[in-house]
């Protein structure tokens, strides 16, 4: 997945344009910038990439999720349904707005289970946040239907699935709002950065203003702009946008390499009858940023991970004991360890985490191995890796 593996001349040239005129900020300073508007140019490129009418760049993927929710009016006391398997950013972004994350099970797609969503809908539910983990997608038709039936906002976190598609649509562009991250380890990187995409003009205008202190961005005198509502600073800098602008132009090349490497590994593992792969909904195409497969049980999975380590097969994880991506080890969330007081509503809203169990998620995550697909591997290296993986799995079975 990581775009940083293929960092070079193109990225340097774009950054040098910015350094040459010294305008590091995305707004204003028109006279000094010699026509360089890197953030605007990247937004325009991303409109095409994501087939979306509007794109708002922000400072991170986490900021993108908060800005997306805020721009659609999600806030204090609202419940947002999210999966147990994701990145900690999901609940951070929800809680920043005073909203309540409602965690529910995933299914064999490794994404939100439609049945689990329906089971927790209450009058307080405002949004469903689907997270397209590890390059693939949840059952989007069923989830979209639930959202339509219950009049819920659908927010799509596609931070890990840039380039994946569902029925021909880029992941991230299916829900009411989509979120992307361009942090250092994502498929394309800005160093730090993120984006909110939407076809809804009002959500876009809100995210444009909200991510820059509520500035209305009318006219060319920043100091004189009015503030239709309160905002924060989630701006991206021109330096970061410049790196992203070079990277996004290479996305087709990155995706092709990912697909080749993924295909070699998947073909090799598929000869082992005990290995099964995550379900990809019909009409879906993975971005191939990760290869995910299941083994018969947790013990075998742990042995295989150990075997991979011993044989130098890096960048493969089992998330069961992972502190960043899975509910089991999110003690700081369960214990509500916060630097500052948390509202009574959120405290009460999260009490369910003391007792709720997630057997269905455990069933999939305990047996899953997720392998990062790197861009820098040669074909020979991938074949060698495939052979080592097959040998380690066979030995553990």
Ligand X SMILES: *Cc1c(COP(=O)(O)O)cnc(C)c1O
Active site residues: 186
Q: How far apart are CA 124 and CA 154, in angstroms?
A: 15
Q: Residue 253: count other Cβ atoms within 10 Å of its Cβ.
A: 11
Instruction: Decide if residue 62 touches ligand X (CB under 6 A).
Output: yes
Nearest approach in angstroms of CB 183 to ligand X is 4
Nearest approach in angstroms of CB 64 to ligand X is 7
- Reduced to 3 states, what is the DSSP secondary structure of residue 391? helix
**Total residues contacting ligand X (rule CB under 6 A)?**
13
Instruction: Decide if residue 60 touches ligand X (CB under 6 A).
Output: yes
Residue nearest to ligand X (CB): 61
Instruction: Decide if residue 84 touches ligand X (CB under 6 A).
Output: no
CA distance between the termini of the chain: 29
Instruction: Decide if residue 3 touches ligand X (CB under 6 A).
Output: no
- Would you give the distance in Å from CA 322 to the centre of its chain? 17
Q: How far apart are CA 188 and CA 35, in angstroms?
A: 24
Q: Measured between alpha carbons, how far is residue 39 from residues 17, 157, 213 in Å?
A: 13, 21, 17
Choice from 157, 208, 212, 286 touching ligand X (CB under 6 A): 157
Q: Residue 321: count other Cβ atoms within 10 Å of its Cβ.
A: 13
Choice from 49, 71, 160, 173 touching ligand X (CB under 6 A): 160
Instruction: Decide if residue 183 touches ligand X (CB under 6 A).
Output: yes
Spatial CA neighbour of 85 closest among 143, 149, 146, 136 = 136
Nearest approach in angstroms of CB 381 to ligand X is 25
Q: How far apart are CA 278 and CA 82, in angstroms?
A: 19
Instruction: Decide if residue 109 touches ligand X (CB under 6 A).
Output: no
Choose the binding region for ligand X from 85-93, 196-204, 284-292, 363-371 (rule: CB under 6 A).
85-93
Nearest approach in angstroms of CB 232 to ligand X is 15
Q: Are 254 and 3 contacting, i.e. CB atoms less than 8 angstroms apart? A: yes
Choice from 116, 127, 131, 346 touching ligand X (CB under 6 A): 131
Residues that bind ligand X (CB under 6 A): 60-62, 86-87, 89, 131, 157, 159-160, 181, 183, 194
């Amino acid at each position: 997945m990581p775009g940083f593996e293929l960092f070079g001349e193109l990225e340097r040239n774009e950054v040098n344009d910015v350094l040459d005129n010294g305008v590091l900020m995305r707004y204003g300073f028109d006279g000094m910038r010699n026509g360089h508007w890197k953030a605007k140019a990247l937004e325009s490129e991303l409109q095409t990439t994501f087939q979306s009418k509007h794109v708002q760049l922000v400072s991170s993927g986490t900021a993108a999720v908060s800005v997306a929710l805020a721009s659609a009016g999600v806030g204090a006391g609202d419940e947002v349904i999210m999966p147990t398997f994701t990145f900690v950013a999901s609940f951070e972004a929800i809680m920043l707005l005073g909203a309540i994350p409602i965690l529910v099970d995933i299914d064999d797609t490794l994404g939100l289970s439609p049945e689990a969503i329906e089971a927790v809908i209450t009058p307080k539910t405002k949004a469903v946040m689907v997270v397209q983990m590890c390059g693939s997608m949840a059952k989007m038709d069923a989830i979209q239907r639930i959202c339509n039936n219950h009049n819920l906002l659908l927010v799509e976190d596609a931070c890990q699935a840039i380039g994946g598609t569902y029925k021909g649509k880029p992941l991230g562009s299916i829900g009411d709002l989509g979120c992307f991250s361009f942090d250092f380890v994502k498929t394309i990187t800005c160093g730090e950065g993120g984006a909110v995409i939407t076809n809804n003009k009002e959500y876009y205008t809100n995210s444009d203003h909200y991510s820059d202190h509520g500035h209305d961005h009318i006219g060319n005198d920043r100091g004189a702009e009015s503030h239709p509502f309160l905002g924060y600073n989630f701006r991206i800098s021109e330096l970061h946008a410049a790196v992203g602008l070079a990277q996004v132009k290479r996305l087709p090349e990155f995706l092709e390499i990912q697909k080749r490497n993924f295909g070699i590994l998947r073909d090799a593992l598929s000869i082992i009858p005990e290995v099964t792969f995550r379900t990809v909904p019909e009409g879906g195409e993975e971005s191939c940023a990760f290869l995910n497969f299941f083994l018969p049980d947790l013990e075998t999975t742990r042995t295989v991970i150990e075997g991979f380590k011993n044989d130098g097969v890096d960048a493969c994880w089992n998330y069961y004991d992972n502190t960043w991506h899975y509910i089991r080890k999110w003690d700081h969330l369960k214990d509500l360890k916060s630097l500052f007081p948390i509202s009574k509503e959120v405290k009460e809203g999260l009490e369910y985490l003391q007792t709720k169990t997630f057997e269905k998620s455990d069933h999939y995550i305990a047996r899953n191995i997720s392998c990062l697909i790197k861009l820098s591997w040669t074909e020979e290296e991938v074949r060698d890796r495939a052979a080592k993986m097959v040998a380690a799995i066979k030995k553990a079975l």
